[in-house]
Amino acid sequence: MAGIAYVNGAYLRSSNAQVHIEDRGYQFADGIYEVCLVIDGRYWDAEGHLDRMDRSLKELGIRQPMSRASLRTVMAELLTRNRLKDALVYMQVTRGVAPRNHPFPAAGVTPALVMTARRFNLDDNDARAKKGVKIITQPDIRWARVDIKSISLLPNVLAKQAAVEANAVESWLIKDGKVTEGSSSNAWIVDDTGAIITHPKGREILGGITRETAIACARDLQIRVEERPFTLAEAAQAKEVFITAATVLVMPVIAIDGQKVGDGAPGPIAAQLREAYKERARSA
């Protein structure tokens, strides 16, 4: 993490930044978050992330901490103070500070806003994409509203840790025999016709902003997109597999649970889609 954080109206050294012990985010995970990618000082998919942030706040009945224009001003200032041009900006909004009690506090509680930034190396990310990554599978034990980008992420944390312990970068989550998504990414396969398949939006997955842009890029490239659930058996037979997220862009997968995908190397469709995504994001 870079040296300066934004906490409820103040820019502070990260080592000195604090939130109140009765912040409902700390007590109840009563809050939401977003992560935005910045490359060469330009935000990629920023409006999509801010729109999803608005939706998550609305779904949980949390007030906006500030206007979108003010939020963008804080985001820009945070990058300036940290001297960052390529970064991941993390934004978290909680319901605010109130005596610990399960029901929402009475009107008048001010939402809490925290923002941090850390350096992002696109060259390293590109190098990883050329090699591809390995993933494993885990049961999907999350709550029934994963379409809300809530900070309540313990099941995701457990799935991600399982991946780390297996020398993989991600866990695909399995529910009722179908792949929903990854612990921090959306899941895709390429079938033998060259179509790309990903789980449809709904309450079973978090509708990724990178996912939406990747779909738009695929259609521009005249690649057929099917939004439907798929099984692990389908993934095992897929020509290609990849994941998408702001932190990985479009990332080829070369093995699932130790079994090679295709010939065990990144495929052409994922590579083409990754480059189209980068070009679209840069020119937006």
Of 143, 128, 282, 264, the closest CA to residue 217 belongs to 282
How many whole angstroms separate alpha carbon 51 and alpha carbon 149? 12
On the 0-12 / 13-18 / 19+ scale of CB atoms within 10 A, 132 is buried
How many whole angstroms separate alpha carbon 38 and alpha carbon 20? 29
Catalytic choice (131, 149, 175, 260): 149
Check if 149 is active-site.
yes
What does the buried/exposed string (b/e) look like for 24-62 if buried means 16 or more CB atoms within 10 Å of the residue's CB?
bbbbeebbbbbbbbbbeeebbbbebbbebbeebbeebeb
Of 216, 210, 273, the closest CA to residue 240 belongs to 273
How many whole angstroms separate alpha carbon 166 and alpha carbon 175? 21
How many whole angstroms separate alpha carbon 211 and alpha carbon 186? 7
Active site residues per annotation: 149
